[in-house]
Amino acid sequence: MNQALFNYALRLGDSALVLSQRLCEWTGHGPALEEELATANTALDLIGQARMWLTLAGEIEGKGRDEDALAYLRDTHDYYNYLMAERPNGHYGDTTARQFLFDVWHYFLLRRLCDSSNERVQEIAEKSLKEVTYHVRRSIDLMVRLGDGTEESHVRMQEALNDAWKHVGELFLDDDTTRALHEQGIAPLNESLWDEWYEQVSEVLAEATLTVPAKENAFHKAHRGGTQGHHTEALGFLLAEMQVLQRTYPGATW
């Protein structure tokens, strides 16, 4: 078994799954009908991507666990999503800032994965990139509209950005998993994504009249560990709600 690829597929699948669940929490609570539908569509896209990554992980593992088993029958410490994905939604500006920072990173990562030496990884990346390209455009539009909107929206978006920024650094940290896959030509080093990500983010924030937080604020050691199974209590509550049906009726099917 390619342990590194298994870990990586779980990492990306879990991040998409958890972030999708967070976005689904806005259903029925969005600030406007159009935004609520757009948020739900983004969540559905991420669910589809999670299914592909988790299916790949199950096939690599070879123990008979499919996407559903991996999604619903693991405990908190067996999830390997980035901490940013599990952050509580807060107000809509908080959700927007989180989504924007993640979407831009996700876009550049998938673009690099389209050149992967692994055919399955390449296929998943190509399918996902089409959706994430839309996610980025929408996130950028919202950041600019809210950042350069009213005085109140500007202040609240700057606060939301500063708060979300603390979780950015983990997206660019490398470990044995990413280094092994880089050597195999399967995935890029995370640190190699920083420059183009930072350039894109800075351009958008300038248009949104928002201040780019200091780089060192993104790499605080207190906000990392998700890819090693170390999470905040927020993930436990999220999984309890997400997994309640499977846990209550094991093996249930429609």
For 220-247, what is each residue's pLDDT tens digit? 776 789 999 999 999 999 999 999 888 8
Crossing angle of helices 119-147 and 151-165, rounded to 10°: 150
User: Model pTM?
Assistant: 0.95
Report the chain's mean pLDDT, rounded to a whole number. Answer: 94
**Tokens representing residue 144 in the block:** 């600019």
Mean pLDDT, residues 190-207: 98
- Contact predicate 128/109, CB 8 Å: no
In the block, which residue shows the tokens 């666990």? Answer: 65
Average pLDDT over residues 53-61: 97
Q: Tally Cβ neighbours within 10 Å of residue 229.
A: 14
What is the per-residue pLDDT for 254? Answer: 65
Q: How confident is the model at residue 199 (pLDDT cuts 50, 70, 90)?
A: very high
Question: What are the tens digits of pLDDT across the range 58-78?
Answer: 999 999 999 999 999 999 999
CA distance 182 to 251: 38
CATH of 3-248, one of 1.10.1060.10, 1.10.10.10, 1.10.3470.10, 1.20.1260.10: 1.20.1260.10
> Is pLDDT larger for residue 224 or for residue 252?
224
Reference 105, options 6, 181, 204, 35; nearest CA is: 204
Instruction: Count CB atoms within 10 A of the CB of residue 179.
Output: 14
Q: Domain spans of the chain?
A: 3-248
Where does the pLDDT of residue 36 fall: very low under 50, low under 70, confident under 90, or very high at 90 and above? confident
Digit-coded pLDDT (tens) for 91-150: 999 999 999 999 999 999 999 999 999 999 999 999 999 999 999 999 999 999 999 999
State the Rg of the chain over Cα: 18
What number of CA atoms fall less than 13 Å from residue 97's CA on the CB side?
32
Residue 31 pLDDT: 81
Share of the chain above pLDDT 70, in %: 99
